[in-house]
C-alpha cells in the first residue's frame, strides 16, 4: 500500500483524497509577477528621477562599455531563481536514503493545487512511499485522470535504477550556465530565413504516425516500439542533409529500473567550435490514458512535442545549418510515470560535469480552445522550475522574430514536465506551453487525437521559436558578420537612473519585507513609457554578461510625474558591483538599457 510520513507530514488528508476520492483542481492558474507598492516615501526626498541620486554613501555612474549595446539577456555565473525553499521536501530528500527500502522501494513526489489553502502557496507537494510498480502505475493513472484536472504532477525521486536522494528537491541554483552567443534583440538574417520553412503538415504527419501506435505507455508492448519509431522519425528528418559524416547521430538511451522497457532517444549535432557546451531541446515520447493504457494515442501529449522537434531538425538539415555549440534533441521515455527518462539522463549529465547552456522543453503544444483567434497562437511561459533570465531571453526572441504574442503571468500548476529534472540537476530551463488555464481536456484519454489537436499554427510557432532559440543560444554558424554589423548600428539608451539606499536609510514603515540588515535598496527611474525594469550584476570591464539572475523591479506608485519608478532589493554583499538595468515597454519590447558603475564612497 501507499505510505505517507504521518509523523512529519501533517497533510495526510490530501493523500486520502488522492487515493480514495475525486479532487477538483485547476490544471493551471494565472497570476501576476511582481506587484506594485504605493510607498512613495521609498523615493529619496527631492529626487525627480532625471539624474542619478548621489547619496552620502553610494556613487553611481556610467560603466564604460566595449560595445555600443550589451546583450539583453545573458547567462553567466551562478543564477538563482526567486523561489522559496520547501523545508519539508528538503528534509525528506536529505534522509530519503533511509526511507526507501525493499518493502517500499519508490519515493514519489506528487504535486497538486489541493494543498494550497493548507500551505499558503499556489501549489503543494506530497512525498509518498510506494511499495510496488503496480501501485506506482495506479498513482500515475489517478493523478493523470480528469478528476485531478488531468495534469497533477508525479515525479519518482528514488527507485530501482534512479536515486536522487542526494539532490535537493527545492533546487533553485543553476550551476552550469553560459551566455548566449548572440544578443536576442538582434535579428539575424540567416535565422529569419529559416522560420517560414517550418510547416504544420509535417508536424501533423509525425503526430499521426505516433498516434497510429495505439499507445506509447512505457511498460506496454508498444513501449519499445515508440522509442524505435521516434528514432526512425528523427533520422528521417535529416536523412538528406549535407552535414559532414559523423556531425549528427541518433541513438537510444537505455534506462534501468522500471523504465528499462522504453529507452529515450537523443539526436546530437556536434558544435563547430564548442562541442563541450550544449543546448538541449526536450520532449517526451510516451503516453498515458488513466482509464485504458492500451488506448493512449497521446497526440497533443506529447506527439506534438516530438513532431515539433523533428520539424526543426528537418529545416536545419535542409539548409545545412550548423551551430557553434553542440545541440541535442531529446525524446524521453517514461515521463508520464514520473519523469524517469529525463531524471536519469539529467542526473547522469550533472554527475559527468556536462555543461548545458540552456534547456527548453516542449510538452503539449498543438491545442487551443480558440484556435481561430490570435490567442490560439499565444505561447505561455511557465514559472515553475524555470529560470527568470531564460524566460526573459525567450520573450526577447519571441518579440524579435515572432511578433511577441506570449504570456508570462507566473502560472503555478499542478503538472510538470521533463524540464523539472534538468532544473533540479542544476541546469537553466524554460518551458513554453499552450494555454494552461484553458487547457486540453482530452489529454490522458482515448480522445487525445490529431483531430482534437486544434491549433497546428501554435505548433508551428513553437518550432520557429526553437529555431530562433538555437540560433542565439547555440550560435548559428556563419552569422558573425551580420551580427557584428547590426550590433554596431544598435543604439544604447542610458535614460535609466538609479538611487541606492542602505537598510538604515529606509524608514521602518516603508521598508520592504525582503530588505534585511546589511542589504541595499536600489531604486530605478525610467521614462514613463517604461512598464518594467529588471537588473543584474555584470562583469566589470566589458559589462556584457549578467553574473546573477535578473531581479524584477516592483513598481512604486506615487512618485514624481513624468517618470516611472521601480525598486529591487540587493542582499548583503550582493550590491557592490557593476549593474545592468533593462527597461521594457508595455508590449514587452526592450527599449532602454544602461550599465552602471556602483561603488561605496
Q: State how many domains the chain has.
A: 3
pTM of the predicted model, to two decimals? 0.77
Compute how many other C-beta atoms are within 10 angstroms of the C-beta atom of residue 82: 14
Residues 222 and 215 sit within 8 Å (Cβ to Cβ): yes
Q: Is residue 214 situated within a structural domain? A: yes
pLDDT-based confidence at residue 174 (cuts at 50, 70, 90) = low
Query: In this structure, are 369 and 275 located in the same domain?
Result: yes
pLDDT-based confidence at residue 491 (cuts at 50, 70, 90) = low
Query: What are the tens digits of pLDDT across the range 493-519?
Result: 678 999 999 898 998 888 888 899 988
Asked if residue 250 has pLDDT above 90, the reply is yes
- The highest-confidence range among 246-260, 370-384, 402-416, 492-506, by mean pLDDT, is 246-260
Residue entry with cell 546583450: 71
The pLDDT score that the predictor gives to residue 82 is 23
**298: CATH:** 3.40.630.10
> Which of 64-78, 362-376, 466-480, 581-595 comes out lowest in average pLDDT?
64-78
E strand or H helix that includes residue 60: strand 58-62
Compute how many other C-beta atoms are within 10 angstroms of the C-beta atom of residue 119: 15
What distance, in Å, lies between the first and last C-alpha atoms of the chain? 65
Query: What mean pLDDT comes out for the span 299-328?
Result: 98
Query: What mean pLDDT comes out for the span 144-166?
Result: 64
Asked if residue 151 has pLDDT above 60, the reply is no
Asked if residue 114 has pLDDT above 70, the reply is no
Asked if residue 601 has pLDDT above 80, the reply is no
Q: Is residue 293 situated within a structural domain? A: yes
Tell me how far apart the alpha carbons of residues 201 and 131 are, in angstroms, rounded to a whole number.
Answer: 45
Query: What mean pLDDT comes out for the span 146-167?
Result: 63
The pLDDT score that the predictor gives to residue 267 is 98
The pLDDT score that the predictor gives to residue 108 is 82
Asked if residue 534 has pLDDT above 80, the reply is yes
Contacts of 499 (CB under 8 A, 6+ apart): 43, 44, 47, 52, 53, 55, 60, 522, 523, 525
The pLDDT score that the predictor gives to residue 244 is 95
Tell me how far apart the alpha carbons of residues 19 and 114 are, in angstroms, rounded to a whole number.
Answer: 13
Asked if residue 385 has pLDDT above 50, the reply is yes
Query: What are the tens digits of pLDDT across the range 59-104?
Result: 888 765 332 222 222 222 222 222 233 333 444 444 455 566 677 7
The pLDDT score that the predictor gives to residue 118 is 25
The pLDDT score that the predictor gives to residue 159 is 77
Q: Which three cell numbers stand for residue 469?
A: 532559440
Decide which of 482, 513, 529 is a domain's last residue: 482
Q: Is residue 143 situated within a structural domain? A: yes
Query: What mean pLDDT comes out for the span 110-134?
Result: 58
E strand or H helix that includes residue 527: strand 520-527
The pLDDT score that the predictor gives to residue 366 is 96
Query: What are the tens digits of pLDDT across the range 9-43?
Result: 322 223 323 333 333 333 333 333 344 556 678 89
Query: In this structure, are 295 and 442 located in the same domain?
Result: yes
Q: Pick from 443, 478, 289, 263: which is nearest to 367 by CA?
A: 443
Query: In this structure, are 261 and 347 located in the same domain?
Result: yes
pLDDT-based confidence at residue 384 (cuts at 50, 70, 90) = confident
Q: Is residue 487 situated within a structural domain? A: no
Q: Is residue 575 situated within a structural domain? A: yes
Residues 445 and 289 sit within 8 Å (Cβ to Cβ): yes
Question: 170: which DSSP letter?
Answer: T
Q: Pick from 83, 82, 179, 188: which is nearest to 534 by CA?
A: 82
The pLDDT score that the predictor gives to residue 303 is 98
Residues 25 and 116 sit within 8 Å (Cβ to Cβ): no
Decide which of 430, 454, 482 is a domain's last residue: 482
pLDDT-based confidence at residue 544 (cuts at 50, 70, 90) = low
Residues 323 and 470 sit within 8 Å (Cβ to Cβ): yes
Q: Which three cell numbers stand for residue 499?
A: 538611487
Query: In this structure, are 500 and 445 located in the same domain?
Result: no
> Which of 192-201, 223-232, 558-567 comes out lowest in average pLDDT?
558-567
- In this structure, the strands spanning 530-537 and 432-433 are unpaired
The pLDDT score that the predictor gives to residue 550 is 75
Decide which of 482, 500, 532 is a domain's last residue: 482
Query: In this structure, are 44 and 93 located in the same domain?
Result: no
Q: Dihedral sign, CA of 567, 573, 576, 582?
A: negative
Query: In this structure, are 358 and 468 located in the same domain?
Result: yes
Compute how many other C-beta atoms are within 10 angstroms of the C-beta atom of residue 90: 14
Compute how many other C-beta atoms are within 10 angstroms of the C-beta atom of residue 177: 26
Looking at per-residue pLDDT, the higher value among 540 and 87 belongs to 540
Question: 546: which DSSP letter?
Answer: B
The pLDDT score that the predictor gives to residue 388 is 79
Q: Is residue 456 situated within a structural domain? A: yes
The pLDDT score that the predictor gives to residue 29 is 30
Kindly state the percentage of the chain with pLDDT values over 90: 47
The pLDDT score that the predictor gives to residue 176 is 52
The pLDDT score that the predictor gives to residue 37 is 59
Query: In this structure, are 426 and 288 located in the same domain?
Result: yes
Query: In this structure, are 259 and 405 located in the same domain?
Result: yes
Query: What mean pLDDT comes out for the span 160-178?
Result: 57
If you average pLDDT over every residue of the chain, what do you get? 80
Q: Is residue 168 situated within a structural domain? A: no
Asked if residue 470 has pLDDT above 80, the reply is yes
Query: In this structure, are 303 and 388 located in the same domain?
Result: yes
Asked if residue 567 has pLDDT above 90, the reply is yes
Asked if residue 309 has pLDDT above 70, the reply is yes
| Range(s) of the domain holding residue 327 | 173-482
The pLDDT score that the predictor gives to residue 513 is 87
Query: In this structure, are 223 and 349 located in the same domain?
Result: yes
Q: Is residue 19 situated within a structural domain? A: yes
Residue entry with cell 503538415: 201
Residues 155 and 416 sit within 8 Å (Cβ to Cβ): yes
Asked if residue 296 has pLDDT above 90, the reply is yes
Query: In this structure, are 520 and 502 located in the same domain?
Result: yes
**506: CATH:** 2.60.40.10
Looking at per-residue pLDDT, the higher value among 290 and 334 belongs to 334
Contacts of 540 (CB under 8 A, 6+ apart): 577, 578
pLDDT-based confidence at residue 193 (cuts at 50, 70, 90) = very high
The pLDDT score that the predictor gives to residue 125 is 63
Asked if residue 373 has pLDDT above 50, the reply is yes
Tell me how far apart the alpha carbons of residues 386 and 166 are, in angstroms, rounded to a whole number.
Answer: 21
The pLDDT score that the predictor gives to residue 147 is 47
> Which of 54-63, 250-259, 305-314, 322-331 comes out lowest in average pLDDT?
54-63
**∠282-549-64 over CA atoms, to 5°?**
125
Asked if residue 566 has pLDDT above 90, the reply is yes
Query: In this structure, are 305 and 453 located in the same domain?
Result: yes
Strands (E), 306-402: 325-332, 355-361, 379-381
Q: Dihedral sign, CA of 300, 301, 305, 310?
A: negative
The pLDDT score that the predictor gives to residue 70 is 24
Amino acid at each position: 500500500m501507499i505510505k505517507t510520513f504521518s509523523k512529519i507530514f501533517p497533510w495526510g488528508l490530501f493523500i486520502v483524497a488522492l487515493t480514495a476520492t475525486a479532487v477538483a483542481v485547476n490544471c493551471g492558474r494565472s497570476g501576476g509577477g511582481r506587484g506594485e507598492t504605493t510607498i512613495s516615501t521609498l523615493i529619496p526626498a527631492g529626487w525627480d528621477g532625471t539624474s542619478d541620486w548621489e547619496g552620502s554613501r553610494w556613487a553611481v555612474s556610467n560603466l564604460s562599455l566595449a560595445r555600443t549595446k550589451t546583450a539583453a539577456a545573458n547567462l553567466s555565473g551562478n543564477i538563482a531563481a526567486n523561489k522559496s525553499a520547501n523545508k519539508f521536501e528538503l528534509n525528506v530528500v536529505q534522509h530519503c536514503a533511509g526511507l526507501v527500502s525493499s518493502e517500499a522501494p519508490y519515493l514519489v513526489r506528487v504535486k497538486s493545487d489541493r494543498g494550497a489553502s493548507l500551505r499558503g502557496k499556489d501549489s503543494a507537494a506530497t512525498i509518498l512511499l510506494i511499495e510496488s510498480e503496480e501501485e506506482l502505475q495506479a498513482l500515475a493513472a489517478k493523478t493523470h485522470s480528469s478528476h485531478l484536472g488531468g495534469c497533477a504532477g508525479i515525479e519518482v525521486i528514488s527507485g530501482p535504477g534512479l536515486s536522487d536522494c542526494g539532490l535537493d528537491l527545492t533546487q533553485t541554483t543553476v550551476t552550469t550556465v553560459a551566455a548566449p552567443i548572440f544578443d536576442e534583440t538582434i535579428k539575424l538574417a540567416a535565422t529569419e530565413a529559416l522560420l517560414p520553412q517550418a510547416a504544420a503538415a509535417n508536424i501533423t504527419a509525425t503526430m499521426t504516425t505516433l498516434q497510429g501506435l495505439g499507445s506509447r505507455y512505457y511498460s506496454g508492448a508498444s513501449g519499445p516500439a515508440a522509442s524505435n519509431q521516434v528514432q526512425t522519425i528523427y533520422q528521417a528528418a535529416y536523412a538528406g542533409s549535407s552535414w559532414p559524416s559523423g556531425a549528427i547521430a541518433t541513438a537510444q538511451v537505455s534506462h534501468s529500473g522500471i523504465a528499462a522497457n522504453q529507452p529515450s532517444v537523443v539526436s546530437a549535432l556536434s558544435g563547430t567550435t564548442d562541442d563541450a557546451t550544449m543546448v538541449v531541446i526536450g520532449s517526451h515520447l510516451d503516453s498515458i490514458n488513466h482509464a485504458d493504457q492500451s488506448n493512449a494515442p497521446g497526440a497533443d501529449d506529447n506527439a506534438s512535442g516530438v513532431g515539433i522537434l523533428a520539424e526543426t531538425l528537418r529545416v536545419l538539415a535542409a539548409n545545412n545549418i550548423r551551430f557553434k555549440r553542440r545541440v541535442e534533441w531529446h525524446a524521453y521515455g517514461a515521463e508520464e510515470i514520473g519523469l524517469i527518462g529525463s531524471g536519469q539522463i539529467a542526473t547522469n549529465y550533472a554527475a559527468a560535469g556536462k555543461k548545458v547552456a540552456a534547456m527548453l522543453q516542449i510538452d503539449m503544444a498543438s491545442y487551443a480552445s480558440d484556435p481561430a483567434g490570435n490567442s490560439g497562437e499565444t505561447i505561455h511561459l511557465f514559472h515553475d522550475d524555470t529560470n527568470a533570465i531564460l524566460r526573459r531571453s525567450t520573450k526577447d526572441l519571441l518579440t524579435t522574430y515572432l511578433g511577441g504574442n506570449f504570456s508570462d503571468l507566473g502560472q503555478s500548476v499542478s503538472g510538470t514536465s521533463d524540464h523539472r529534472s534538468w532544473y533540479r540537476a542544476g541546469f537553466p530551463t524554460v518551458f513554453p506551453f499552450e494555454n494552461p488555464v484553458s487547457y486540453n481536456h482530452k489529454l490522458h484519454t482515448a480522445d487525445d487525437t490529431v483531430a482534437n489537436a486544434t491549433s497546428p499554427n501554435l505548433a508551428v510557432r513553437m518550432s520557429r521559436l526553437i529555431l530562433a532559440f538555437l540560433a542565439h543560444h547555440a550560435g548559428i554558424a556563419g552569422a558573425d558578420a551580420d551580427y557584428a554589423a547590426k550590433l554596431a548600428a544598435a543604439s544604447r539608451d542610458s535614460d535609466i537612473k538609479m538611487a541606492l539606499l542602505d537598510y538604515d536609510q529606509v524608514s521602518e514603515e516603508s521598508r520592504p519585507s525582503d530588505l534585511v540588515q546589511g542589504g541595499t535598496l536600489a531604486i530605478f527611474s525610467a521614462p514613463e513609457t517604461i512598464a518594467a525594469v529588471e537588473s543584474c550584476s555584470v562583469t566589470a570591464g566589458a559589462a556584457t554578461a549578467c553574473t546573477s539572475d535578473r531581479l524584477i523591479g516592483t513598481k512604486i506608485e506615487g512618485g514624481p510625474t513624468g517618470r516611472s519608478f521601480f525598486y529591487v532589493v540587493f542582499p548583503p554583499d550582493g550590491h557592490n558591483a557593476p549593474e545592468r538595468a533593462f527597461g521594457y515597454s508595455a508590449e514587452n519590447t526592450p527599449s532602454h538599457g544602461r550599465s552602471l558603475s556602483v561603488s561605496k564612497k
